[in-house]
Amino acid sequence: MSPVSVKPGRTQGMRPDLVRIASWIDPSSRVLDLGCGDGALLAYLRDERSVRGAGVEIDDQHVIACVQRGVEVIQQNLEDGLALFDDKQFDTVVLSQTLQSMHRTEHILREMARVARYGIVSFPNFGYWPHGWSILRGRMPVTGQMPYQWYNTPNIHLCTLRDFERLAADLGLRILERATFHEGREIKVLPGWRSTLAVYRYAAE
């Protein structure tokens, strides 16, 4: 699937991974956005792609922001799973920059494969080369993509591109697309070393 062009004016202020995610979602499809934040992605997909979408979010202020945008949102902790949703209820399920903070990584990916034919995830790439240099110097890395200290970070399961691809294969998830970024720029040469953010689209076998 080739990315569909998005209107720059409409995506102004959106994170680069969300812009790419939007380009991978078919018009008039059904989308579930897990950890949907303020609902910016779902609102864009609704207005520009006629997508029927719903979000899951735990933060009170983000839920309020979703409601103000007219986005359908359910307030729930993702660690509780997706039992509210039926098998293949959606065409695509999205988990953007949340995978690394999940305690039950395999469980949420299996649940995503259950409720939708396609899944999209984005996460910080721990393989970014300065991270290794920082560890060699005896310190945990702190970067723009991972701006936390070791003692207050929400990121509990960090991984590299190869780590995720291996897990996806083990879970029977067939990777269809990959995009990698550094400070908003797409990285196509040596992405495992040079990117700080990875976005994957996969199909559930």
Domains and CATH numbers, the chain: 16-204 (3.40.50.150)
C-alpha to C-alpha distance for 187 and 14, rounded to whole angstroms: 18
Tens digits of residue pLDDT in 165-195:
999 999 999 999 999 999 889 999 999 889 9
Question: Residue 159: its pLDDT value, please?
Answer: 86
CA atoms within 13 A on the CB side of 102: 24
133: CB partners within 8 A, 6+ apart: none
Interior CA angle at 33 toward 28 and 35, to 5°? Answer: 165
Q: What is the pTM of this model?
A: 0.86
The band of 156, judged by pLDDT with boundaries at 50, 70 and 90, is low
